[in-house]
């Protein structure tokens, strides 16, 4: 007891600074979330803008660099990916694999390729270019589900097509993320191939195990109260993420796979329980991400970001147009599906954060931030007026 008090006293002032830092950030973000709610948009783009304004070289230079804040941000990524994994049930994933391969491949060809191409064109290394491809590839399921809801489009005939594409992208990320993480670690070609191989085998084993035995895990998790479930899932996520990191598979993918493995009752309850935690930690992550971007770095990347946004917006429109057409949807619906898919968000930022250690890291982060902000403006607005873009 005596010892504990001494320890608290020693770390007291450090803790006090961390409390004030996090408190100020959280209160600021709550205002932004309020504004976002008023305008019917998700808070992610606003968090990015806030980070830009108050981070390095911004209007006000707040230094929030304590270990505590950065650990909070890292847990934020894990919870973000856990909930992305929880989004879909094992059945939905299996159906996704069966029916969505073709649209998924088209989506990849039209949206992953431009990112990689631009990276190489800018003279970036292969890992950085592959990461840029990941940034432009995946639509934001968070923004899209919100926009679908707000515009009253959940019942529309093109909506299952849009949602199925999001499922496929989710699965594609399960393969992409560990490969990208392995590329970033680098080394000789043989080393990289080995790391990628280990990563892919791990992912396939966990994914297969999750889809086959996930219900057993899920059932054993649901015997207790909400408290037991929350602690068990939170702990399990950190343990798997930590082990994945040790195997150089990237912690994020570990968390994601835990989410994929949970099903049924456990999935439903965990989503409900973990969402408030996720919102809290992920907000810190988004702000921390853009904190480190100097707004002056945005200027040189604005043109590439704009070009990329336009090309990949067209890529998403083409993907949605074709995929919805396969489902027998009419022209207006096909245009709604395509424009709906334009917005990028949480995944793009997570991918950009993986590349922080690369020499192109700062440039990649600035480009990703500018790109996400642009697509988050183009996407929701263009889909709102999609019906006027085509004749019936």
Q: What are the residues binding another protein (CB under 8 A)? A: 87-89, 92, 95-96, 141, 145, 152-160, 163-164, 166-167, 268, 272, 329-330, 332-333, 336, 387, 392
The CA distance from 300 to 375, in Å, is: 18
Which C-beta is closer to another protein: that of 160 or that of 209?
160
What sign does the CA torsion over 320, 325, 328, 330 have?
positive
Helix (H) or strand (E) holding 246: helix 226-246
The CA distance from 114 to 136, in Å, is: 8
Q: How far is CA 352 from CA 58, 116, 365, in A?
A: 20, 13, 6
Residue pointed to by tokens 């709604």 = 336
Is residue 103 within 8 A of residue 326, CB to CB? The reply is yes
Q: For residue 1, how far is the Cα from the chain centroid?
A: 43
Minimum CB separation from another protein for residue 164, in Å?
Answer: 6
Rg value, the chain, Cα: 21
Q: Does residue 43 sit in helix, strand or coil?
A: coil
Minimum CB separation from another protein for residue 334, in Å?
Answer: 9
Backbone φ and ψ for 123, nearest 5 degrees, come out as 80, 25
Minimum CB separation from another protein for residue 18, in Å?
Answer: 35
Write out the two tokens for 51.
Answer: 């980070």
Q: How far is CA 35 from CA 43, 46, 382, in A?
A: 8, 9, 21
Minimum CB separation from another protein for residue 147, in Å?
Answer: 13
The CA distance from 176 to 180, in Å, is: 6
Is residue 105 within 8 A of residue 172, CB to CB? The reply is no
Which C-beta is closer to another protein: that of 162 or that of 354?
162
Minimum CB separation from another protein for residue 253, in Å?
Answer: 20
Minimum CB separation from another protein for residue 154, in Å?
Answer: 6
Minimum CB separation from another protein for residue 161, in Å?
Answer: 10
């Amino acid at each position: 007891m005596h010892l504990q008090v001494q320890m608290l006293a020693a770390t007291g002032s450090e803790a006090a600074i961390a409390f004030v830092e996090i408190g100020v950030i959280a209160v600021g973000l709550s205002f932004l979330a309020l504004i976002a709610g008023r305008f019917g948009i998700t808070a992610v783009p606003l968090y990015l803008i806030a980070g830009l304004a108050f981070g390095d070289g911004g209007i006000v230079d707040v230094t929030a660099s304590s270990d505590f804040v950065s650990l909070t941000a890292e847990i934020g990524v894990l919870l973000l990916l856990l909930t992305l994994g929880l989004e879909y049930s094992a059945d939905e994933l299996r159906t996704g694999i069966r029916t969505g391969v073709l649209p998924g491949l088209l989506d990849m060809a039209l949206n992953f390729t431009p990112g990689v191409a631009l990276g190489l064109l800018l003279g970036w290394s292969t890992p950085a270019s592959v990461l840029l491809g990941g940034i432009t590839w995946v639509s934001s399921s968070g923004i899209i589900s919100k926009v679908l809801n707000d515009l009253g489009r959940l019942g529309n005939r093109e909506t299952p097509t849009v949602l199925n594409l999001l499922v496929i992208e989710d699965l594609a990320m399960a393969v992409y993320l560990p490969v990208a993480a392995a590329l970033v670690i680098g080394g000789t070609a043989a080393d990289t191939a080995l790391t990628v191989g280990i990563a892919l085998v791990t992912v396939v084993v966990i994914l297969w195990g999750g889809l086959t035995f996930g219900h057993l895990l899920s059932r054993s998790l649901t015997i207790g109260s909400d408290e037991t479930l929350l602690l068990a899932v939170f702990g399990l996520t950190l343990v798997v993420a930590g082990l994945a990191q040790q195997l150089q598979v990237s912690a994020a993918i570990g968390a994601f796979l835990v989410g994929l493995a949970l099903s049924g009752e456990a999935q439903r309850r965990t989503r409900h329980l973990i969402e408030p935690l996720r919102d809290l930690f992920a907000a810190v992550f988004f702000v921390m991400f853009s904190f480190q971007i100097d707004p002056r770095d945005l200027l040189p990347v604005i043109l590439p970001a704009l070009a990329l946004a336009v090309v990949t917006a067209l890529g998403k429109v083409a993907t949605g147009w074709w995929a919805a057409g396969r489902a027998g949807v009419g022209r207006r619906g096909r245009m709604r599906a395509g424009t709906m898919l334009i917005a990028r968000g949480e995944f793009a930022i997570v991918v950009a954060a993986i590349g922080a250690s690369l020499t192109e890291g700062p440039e990649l982060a600035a480009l990703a931030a500018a790109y996400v902000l642009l697509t988050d403006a183009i996407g929701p607005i263009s889909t709102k007026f999609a019906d006027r873009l085509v004749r019936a």
